[in-house]
Amino acid sequence: MPYPKATHGGEATVPAQPSFPKLEAEVLQYWEIDRTFQASIDARPAGANGANEFVFYDGPPFANGLPHYGHLLTGYVKDVVPRYMTMRGKHVERRFGWDTHGMPAEVTAEKELGFKTKADIEEFGVAAFNEACRKSVLRFTSEWRDYVTRQARWVDFDNDYKTLDTDYMESVIWAFKSLWDKGLIYQGFKVMWYCWRCETPLSNTETKMDEVYRDRQDPAVTVALRMDTGEKALIWTTTPWTLPSNLAAAVHPDVDYVTVEHDGERYLLAEARLSAYARELGEDAAERVVARYKGSDLVGRRYRPPFDFFYGQQPNAHQVLAADYVTTEDGTGIVHIAPAYGEADKVVTDAAGIQVVGPVNSHGEFSDEVAPYAGMHVLYEGNRAIIRDLKESGLLLRHETYDHPYPHCWRCDNPLIQRAVSSWFVAVTQFRDRMVELNQQINWVPEHIKDGQFGKWLANAIDWGISRNRYWGSPIPVWQSDDPNYPRTDVYGSLDELERDFGVRPTDLHRPMIDELVRPNPDDPTGKSTMRRVPEVLDCWFDSGSMPFAQVHYPFENAEWFEHHYPGDFIVEYNGQTRGWFYLMHVLATALFDRPAFRNCMAHGIVLGDDGQKMSKSLKNYPDVNEVFERDGSDAMRWFLMASPILRGGNLIVTERGIRDAVRQAVLPLWNSYYFLALYANAEGVEGTWRTDSTHVLDRYVLAKTHDLVVDVREGLDTYDVSGACAAVREYLEVLTNWYVRRSRDRFWAGDKDAVDTLHTVLEVVSRVAAPLLPLTTEAVWRGLTGSRSVHMADWPADDLLPADADLVAGMDRVRQVASAALSLRKTNKLRVRLPLARLVIAAEDAELLAPFSELLADEVNVKQVELTRDVAAHGRFELVVNARAAGPRLGKDVQVVIRAVKAGEWTTADSGAVVAAGIELREGEYERRLVTGDHGVAAPLPGGSGLVLLDTDVTPELADEGLVRDLVRVVQQARRDANLDVADRISLTLDVSGDVERAARTHEQFIASETLATSVSYGQVSHGFAGTVGENVTIHVTVSKN
C-alpha cells in the first residue's frame, strides 16, 4: 500500500480524527529511541572555527519551582528558532542551564527550615544552610526535563551548566577581577533600597522588576519645624519613622514661599500649597500672608528638629538647604531631609558637609541611639509611636493616609526601606555611553525596544550595586586587612591566584569554605593583622550576566572557541528582562569585551489569565498545562502561543478556546490534507511522487502558492518574525484545504495522477516549512509521506524548489475573493450552496483577468452563468464616508475640508490604493467605502472597494430540484461514512422519499448513482435507515449496503 492506511475504521493508521496527544507521544518515543535530536546536530558540522555555527543562549531558569506558562512560551521560541536554523544547515548547540544562586534559593531553604532571620542561619551554621540551598535549587530538575520534553523542545540536558559549579564561579570571579583591574569596581556608602527581612540591599535592576511596585497605604504627616526666626516651617513626609534622623530641610531656590498667620502662630510653606492646607490654615489664608520669600532667601536659616536625638551634634546640620528636586505638586514645598534614608537627601547633605546618622539596624528596627523607640520596627510600631509623640508635642499639623505604589522585595514580598549601606558597585556610569552605542548593533524584536524600553533604560543607567549581605552565591573575591592601621586590599580572579597566596586550591568557592582562606597581611610589619575575605556575596544577576563566557569556563578553557562564538546570535525572554538579564549581559559584555553580548534579541510580552489578570493558582484563571497537553497536544499550544501578538511585544490572554482554535487553524488542516491524500491514493492504488510539471490550473496554482509560502516563512523566520511565519502558514493551509483539496476532490475520486503527485509534493514541502512551528505533527506527516528518518533531518526547501507564477497566483487569489463575496451573499440571503442559481455578475476594472476561471467560479458558487464586466457604474457605485473621529486627531481642521470634498464626490484612488480627497491622503480606518446598488440583484463589495459581485436570487422549479438532489447526495455520502465504507466501495442504495424530493430524485437518478457509487437505486420505506435533511428541513431516510 503506497501510504499508511487511511479509513474511518479503527484499523486506520492515518485516522480521520486522530488523538493528537497520542500521536505526539509516539513521535516523542521515536525521537528518544532514534536519538534524532543529536543526529540533526551531527548532520550539520560546525566547520572551521565554528564558521557554520548558530550560537543560541538559553537563559537559565531557577529549578526550585515548577515551570509555568511564561517558561512554556519562551521555551517554544527557544525551540522554533534553533530548529529552523538547523534546517537551514547551521550547527546549533542547545545547552540547558540552571540559575542556582541568590535569594530565591535562600528563601526556599529558610521556609523549609522554619527560619525567620539571619540570626537563625548563623546559629544553624552557614555550611549547613548553604547545603540546604544546594539541595533545594535542583529539586525539580526531573520535572523540568519531563515538561520541556513534552513541549517537543530539543535541549541538551546531559551537558547542562549550573551557576553553582566551581568552573562557572571561577569565570564569575574572573569577571569581577577584570572589572576591578579596569577601575570599574568600587566600594561605596550609598542609600539603596534595602530588605530588612533578608537584611541586604537591592540593586535598581531588582527594584524595577515586574510587580515589585504594589499599591500600599502609608501614613503621611505634616510637621512643624520651629525656626530660629519664630516661624514654624511645615514639612511633609510619608516616612514618619525617618523624622528622628532629620538633619536638614530643603527648599527650591526659585519657588515662592510665604509666612501665614493663623491662631497666633506663623507658618512657613510654599505659596502654591496654601489651598492644599485650607482646612488647617483657613480658607482665607492667602489674605493673612505677612511675609514673602524666594526659596533662596531661606537658605541657611536654622531650626530645631522635631526630635532632639542628634540636635547640636554637627555645626552644619538643622538648617535650610537648596535643592532643585523640591516641587510644589504635593506636600508643603519644604522637604524633610534624612540622608541615611533618601538617595537625593544624601546628595544634598554631602554637599553641605553633613554626616549621615542612621539609628536603624539591619532588621529595620530602631537602635539605642533613639532610646524611646529602640527595638521598634520602623514601618509598624515605630511609625505609630512617632506620630503619637508628634501629636503630644503639638508639632503635628496633619495626619492622613497616603495611597501610592511602593517597592517590595521580589524575594520575600515585604515592603522595602531606603537605607544608607556600604556596598560594592560596578561603575556603569563610566561606560554608559558606550552601552548606548553598542545597543545600535543589536537587532531587537520588536524593533521599538532598541531605542524605547531598552535604550531609555541604558541612557539612564546608574552604578550597579552588586553585593549582597547573604550566604548562597558567588563570593566577592576581595580580601582586606582586618587592621585599619595597615590597610591592604587583594582581589582574586582565579583558583591559581588563590592557591598561590593561600597555599591551598579551593574545590568549592561557596561560603564558608572560601571565608576560611586567610593569610597574614604582607603590608603589616608587626605580623599581627590578617587578610580576610569581605563577607558579601555577588548579586545572583552577576552570575546570569556572566552566562555567555562562564558556561564554557572562559578564559580558563575554550578561549579560542569563545572568541569565535561571541556575541551570541539569538536570545529570547519576556520584555521585563530589558531591566534584568538582557541588561546585565549587556553591562558585562560592554565592560569586559567592548562588544554586545548578543546580535538578535526577542523581547515578548506577558502571558495573562483568561480574565486578563496575572495568572494565579488561587484564582485558577488559566487552563492547566498538563491538561492541555493531554487534551489538545503540545503542537496546539505551541501554535496558539507562536501565532499570537505576544511575540511582537503585546500581552496574551490564555483561554482554552484559543488553544482549541489552534487545532482548527493549523494542526487539523495539515492533517486533513495528509489524510485526504492517503485515503484517495490508497483507494485508487496509486502512490504520489515528487512532481512539479502538472499543467492543470489548480496544480499550477497550489505549486506556485507553495513556492510563495517557502519564501514568506523563510523571510519571517530569518527576521525572527515567528508570528508572521505562522500567519503565512495559516493562510496557506486555508488555501490548501478549502480551495485546492476541495476543488480537486473529483480528480482524486477519479485517481488523477497529476493531482495525487501535486498534493504529495506540496505536502512534502509544507511539512518542512511548518516543521519548526508544528514539529510533532509534521514529523508524523513527513514520515508517512516519505518513509525517511525525520523531517528535522531534512534541509529547508530552496526558494526556487517549486515553480513561481505570480500572475496565476494573483488571478486565482482574485477568484477566491470573488467566490468568498458571492458565498457570503448566499449566506446572508439564506440560499444554501447546494442550491444552484442562475447568474453571477462580477463588475470590476480587472474583470477580464477572471475570464479563464469563469467555469471554475460557476462551479464554486453554484451558478449556471458567470457574467464579467468592467462597468461597475452600471450595477452600483461606492460612496466614501469619512470617519471624523478616527481622522480628526491627525488632520485637525483639515478633516472638515476632506469631508466636504468627499460629499461632493471629489475624491480619487491613487495607484497605491490610498484614497485622496482635497489633496489629502486618508489612511486605513479613517474612511470606509459603502456600496450602493439598485434593486435588480443582491450585491456585495470586493475587498478594497475594487469592484462588486451581484447574485441573481430567483429560484426556478428546475433549480430547486437540482438543489434537492445535491442535498440528497450529501445525505447518502454521510450514510457511507457512517457505515465506515471506503471511498471506492460500490453500494446498493434505497431512498425513503416522497413528493418533490422523490420526483427530483427520479429525474436525476443517474447523477445520484454516479456521485454515490450506487450500482442500483430503489425507492421504498426504510425502517432503520440513515436520517438526514434536504431542502427546507425535509427529513428523508436512506440505506446503503456494500456490494
827 in a known ligand binding site: no
Q: Is 450 a catalytic residue?
A: no
Select which of 99, 167, 543, 992 is catalytic: 99
Rounded Cα–Cα distance for residues 428 and 409 (Å): 23
Q: Which helix (H) or strand (E) holds 219?
A: strand 213-227
Q: How far is CA 524 from the centre of its chain?
A: 57
Rounded Cα–Cα distance for residues 117 and 361 (Å): 13
Rounded Cα–Cα distance for residues 534 and 242 (Å): 29
Rounded Cα–Cα distance for residues 79 and 92 (Å): 11
Rounded Cα–Cα distance for residues 980 and 945 (Å): 47
Amino acid letter, 739 = W
Select which of 424, 581, 782, 907 is catalytic: 581
Q: Is 614 a catalytic residue?
A: yes
Strands (DSSP E) contained in 610-675 are 652-653
How is the beta sheet containing 571-574 ordered, strand by strand? Answer: 443-445, 600-604, 571-574
Instruction: Give how far Cα 873 sits from Cα of 844, 911, 951, Å.
Output: 10, 20, 16
Q: Is 739 a catalytic residue?
A: no
- Residue 666: DSSP 8-state: I
Instruction: For residue 219, list its beta bridge partners.
Output: 401
Rounded Cα–Cα distance for residues 763 and 723 (Å): 21
The sign one gets for the Cα dihedral 547, 552, 558, 560 is: negative
H runs (alpha helix) in 182-263: 204-207
Instruction: Give how far Cα 308 sits from Cα of 311, 338, 401, 571, 936, Å.
Output: 5, 14, 26, 56, 96
> How does 591-619 read in b/e, with b if 16+ C-beta sit within 10 Å?
bbbeebbbebbbbbbbbbbbeeeebeeee
Q: Is 154 a catalytic residue?
A: no
The residues, ordered by sequence, that sit 6+ positions from 487 with a Cβ below 8 Å of its Cβ are: 480, 481, 523
Task: Return the closest-CA partner of residue 766 out of 726, 718, 733, 810.
Answer: 733
Rounded Cα–Cα distance for residues 845 and 379 (Å): 75
Rounded Cα–Cα distance for residues 194 and 418 (Å): 6
H runs (alpha helix) in 834-932: 854-861, 884-891, 894-903
Q: What is the CA radius of gyration of the chain?
A: 38
Q: Is 359 a catalytic residue?
A: no
Task: Return the closest-CA partner of residue 699 out of 707, 95, 253.
Answer: 707
Rounded Cα–Cα distance for residues 586 and 435 (Å): 7
Select which of 444, 541, 782, 907 is catalytic: 541
Would you state the cell numbers that stand for residue 571, as one nine-digit string? 536570545
765 close to 782: Cβ distance less than 8 angstroms: no
Select which of 551, 577, 708, 775 is catalytic: 577
Rounded Cα–Cα distance for residues 791 and 793 (Å): 5
Task: Return the closest-CA partner of residue 861 out of 826, 895, 812, 905.
Answer: 826
Select which of 315, 484, 617, 1021 is catalytic: 617
> How does 530-542 read in b/e, with b if 16+ C-beta sit within 10 Å?
ebbbbebbbbbbb
What phi and psi values does residue 381 have, to the nearest 5 degrees?
-65, -30
Rounded Cα–Cα distance for residues 130 and 134 (Å): 6
User: Is 486 exposed, middle or buried, given 0-12, 13-18 or 19+ CB atoms closer than 10 A?
Assistant: middle
Strands (DSSP E) contained in 628-759 are 652-653
Instruction: Match 521599538 to its residue by C-alpha cell.
Output: 448
Select which of 4, 15, 21, 60 is catalytic: 60
Q: Is 99 a catalytic residue?
A: yes
Q: Is 196 a catalytic residue?
A: no
- DSSP string spanning 136-183? HHTTTHHHHHHHHHHTT---EEEEEEETTSHHHHHHHHHHHHHHHHTT
Rounded Cα–Cα distance for residues 867 and 678 (Å): 38
Task: Identify whether 669 is preceded by a cis peptide bond (ω within 30 of 0).
Answer: no
Task: List, as residue ranges, the binding site for ATP.
Answer: 617
Task: List, as residue ranges, the binding site.
Answer: 617
Residues labelled catalytic = 60, 99, 541, 577, 581, 614, 617
